[in-house]
Structure 1
């Protein structure tokens, strides 16, 4: 893992005791820009998601007032709501005349399309963030150089302030409802609100009946990241409690950073480094100390090293495996995976095109992971015979498998088995 999720409390410029807010206040946070050869008409606005239906707003506010503890004291203003038009967006609409709807900055070199847009149905819209997609593949040095060039040109900068101290992930049951209000509409039930561990609670939420936690693009990553942070912190705490902590702190104070960097550079070239000098032995001892903490973290380099040691020990004990395979289930073609991925009340596999199947599975990675787990269980229990009955290849005595990511961001299973 190369990144972790950390949460900061964002400053709120204004708290409203009366909802909805006055129409003029919306212009401070939102504006709409149309591009094209003609000004937008009422029919164009009907294709956008920016029209307000007053009755829907009233129903939503009344529901929040009754069910969400943070909205119990609000006042619903019908006077403010009456100022919201139903046939025109309630915010400022800017129009820029262009002959084509193609944006030059976002156009491919080999672009062959004259227009970007939809002839019928919903109108696509773009939410502009702090950085564009062109920065996604830049290295850290390239990003710094681009930022320096931007500053030297005296161009504007948008800063997003936040609290100086991050929010705690320990004993903070309101953290997840504040980060994901659309997933916790009652403002309750966040991770940490019960005695369950974060992994158990996250698994329970990911199996929620309407699958909103499964299809959210951020929640699974944040929950897994916080689980890793807690595992590393707990392991470090346990290590610090031991009597040899004084020796560890002394080694950290005596370590030679130049020797450590030399060891790192040699390891990067796949050299098998054997410590010879006292300085190198000290560096390796510090690495072993760090492994005590990192070994408890799923996906860490140390956990992978422990797995390699386990498979080497198994080969030494059982000799070479009988067979070695890589299992890659066809999730986008299997009806079980597609059924788990969809949210429709009625499941009809014959009505789905290849594109529909691909979209269903790619929009629900949790369903793909559950299907992968199910297929691996079938392989281990039924085919190999570890479920209490003989397998297709005789009596299995041992097996070992690792989960790896493949090119299309799904996973496959590398499996070794000892039969007979």
Structure 2
């Protein structure tokens, strides 16, 4: 599905790029699928058998009842043994989503990786914040199909903030392409690193 969505967003016809909800809907579907395929459940080793027995004995009706009350913001008081079992499982079972991009667990995993690198390699001696300003860069207009010569840009062709901001809001795919090109150029030119897979 990722390849299909990428194909649609790379078409010369910009109907998918500029569609107000296509990108959000496609990302939502991809994210949900990733969670279903890669999320894992974690329990303490000592309570594994108890948790397994509770999962096997829990009815779907009890889970649905708890979900309905939770979605309404109600204070959940178990009405029977089944619902008490569901609440106990909610306390004992943890969901791991560190392999799902964009999830809170994924961000925490990346932060831990940075901390690990600092422990083994030392604190960074050089720090820079890169800020590709897509609302002022003419490359964004060029990627959006404007007939301009980026190498010989005239003063009156320098993008103004509001029209450029509207362009980025209307077509976020163009902004993403610009960011990708900009970061590849920064890494290759200033850091001197150009992986073989670099297609830019």
- TM-score, normalized by length of structure 1? 0.33
8 Å CA contact 1:332–1:361 kept in 2: the answer is yes
Counterpart of 1:250 (choices 28, 45, 51) is: 51
Deviation by residue 1:258-281 (Cα, 9 ceiling, x = unmatched): xxxxxxxxxxxxxxxxxxxxxxxx
Note if 1:297 corresponds to 2:96: no
Counterpart of 2:127 (choices 324, 349, 365) is: 324
**Equivalent residue number for residue 64 of structure 2:** none
Deviation by residue 1:67-118 (Cα, 9 ceiling, x = unmatched): xxxxxxxxxxxxxxxxxxxxxxxxxxxxxxxxxxxxxxxxxxxxxxxxxxxx
Which ranges of structure 2 fall in alignment gaps of 5 or more residues? 56-89, 196-200
| Residues paired across the two proteins, number | 151
Note if 1:373 corresponds to 2:188: no
Q: Which has the higher helix share?
A: 2
8 Å CA contact 1:213–1:219 kept in 2: the answer is yes
8 Å CA contact 1:341–1:361 kept in 2: the answer is no
Residues 320 and 250 of structure 1, relative CA distance in 2, 3 Å threshold = same
Which ranges of structure 1 fall in alignment gaps of 5 or more residues? 1-197, 255-281, 389-420
Note if 1:229 corresponds to 2:36: no
Partner SS state of residue 193, structure 2: coil
Q: Which has the higher strand share?
A: 1
Q: Within 2, Cα distance between the matches of 1:325 and 1:249?
A: 51
Pairing 1:1-400 to 2, within 5 Å after superposition:
198-236=1-39, 239=40, 247=48, 250=51, 253=54, 283=91, 286-287=93-94, 290-291=95-96, 294-342=97-145, 344=146, 346-347=147-148, 350-351=156-157, 354=160, 355-387=162-194
Q: Within 2, Cα distance between the matches of 1:232 and 1:302?
A: 12
Residues 332 and 308 of structure 1, relative CA distance in 2, 3 Å threshold = same
Residues 380 and 251 of structure 1, relative CA distance in 2, 3 Å threshold = farther
Measured after TM superposition, the shift of residue 352 of structure 1 is 6.8
Q: Within 1, Cα distance between the matches of 2:24 and 2:180?
A: 18
RMSD of aligned residue pairs (Cα, Å):
3.0
Partner SS state of residue 127, structure 2: strand
Find the structure with the greater CA-based Rg: 1
8 Å CA contact 1:252–1:286 kept in 2: the answer is no
Measured after TM superposition, the shift of residue 247 of structure 1 is 3.1
Measured after TM superposition, the shift of residue 252 of structure 1 is 9.1
- TM-score, normalized by length of structure 2? 0.65
Residues 207 and 319 of structure 1, relative CA distance in 2, 3 Å threshold = same
Partner SS state of residue 176, structure 2: helix
8 Å CA contact 1:331–1:338 kept in 2: the answer is no
Residues 379 and 353 of structure 1, relative CA distance in 2, 3 Å threshold = closer
Partner SS state of residue 129, structure 2: strand
Partner SS state of residue 211, structure 1: coil
